[in-house]
Structure 1
Amino acid sequence: MWQGRERMARTEIWLRLMYVGDLYGEAMLNIRLFASLR
């Protein structure tokens, strides 16, 4: 039971990292586009 819970926590952390990375990548793309428009 403890093993399953640990695995769930690990998956949650991985998903959060992916989500944050996705947001960061999108922000960087937007900044680059904005800079190239100037």
Structure 2
Amino acid sequence: MEAHGVQGQPYVLDETAGTKYYCRCGRSNNQPYCDSSHE
């Protein structure tokens, strides 16, 4: 899977087993994953 950030840079994705949530608000310090910064 390939993901790109807001500026168009590609992210290296963690493909280990488990549930991951992708950041959609842009506030996460752990892009592309959510760190609950939106709360």
TM-score, L = length of structure 2? 0.20
Larger gyration radius, structure 1 or structure 2: 1
Higher relative contact order, chain-length normalized (CA < 8 Å, sep 6+): 2
TM-score, L = length of structure 1? 0.20
Q: Which protein has the bigger strand share?
A: 2
Q: Which protein has the bigger helix share?
A: 1
